[in-house]
Amino acid sequence: MWLMLSDCFFSIVAKDCQPDELLVRARRAGDIEKVFPDAKVTRNTKSDYLYRAVLPRDVVKQALATMIDKIDYPNFKDSVEDSSLHAAYAGVWHSMAGLQHPPPDIERATHARSALTSKHTP
């Protein structure tokens, strides 16, 4: 499962852990700790995700429920303040738009993305 949050991105899988645990993986330092502050995060340069933490499934479930309760934005992309994270999410949005038939109005979306990118540029 990929989770794209307003301030972090991570992947959650059942790999290299016990049945009652999940492996939470991230590409950027600090992303896991934003949602799981007590996690023991390790760094491994020989894996596809640089940061990882094994957590009890119940902890992950509770964190997901809490994240859902905190949603207060009408547009997810607008809630992302970090410019590099926003740009990455815009790329994912564009790729996923290609799966939709008929596709969304890409010209309108590209214009909106350009406006957001300039808004998020430091």
Q: Kindly give the confidence (pLDDT) of every residue in the chain, 122 residues in length, as a single tens digit, with 9 standing for 90 and above.
A: 999 999 999 999 999 999 999 999 999 999 999 999 999 999 999 999 999 999 999 999 999 999 999 999 999 999 999 999 999 999 999 999 989 988 887 665 555 555 555 555 55
Q: Which residues pair with 9 in a beta bridge?
A: 4
Q: How far apart are CA 25 and CA 45, in angstroms?
A: 13
Give the pLDDT confidence score for residue 49 in this predicted structure.
Answer: 97
3-state DSSP call for residue 112?
Answer: helix
pTM: 0.82
Give the pLDDT confidence score for residue 102 in this predicted structure.
Answer: 87
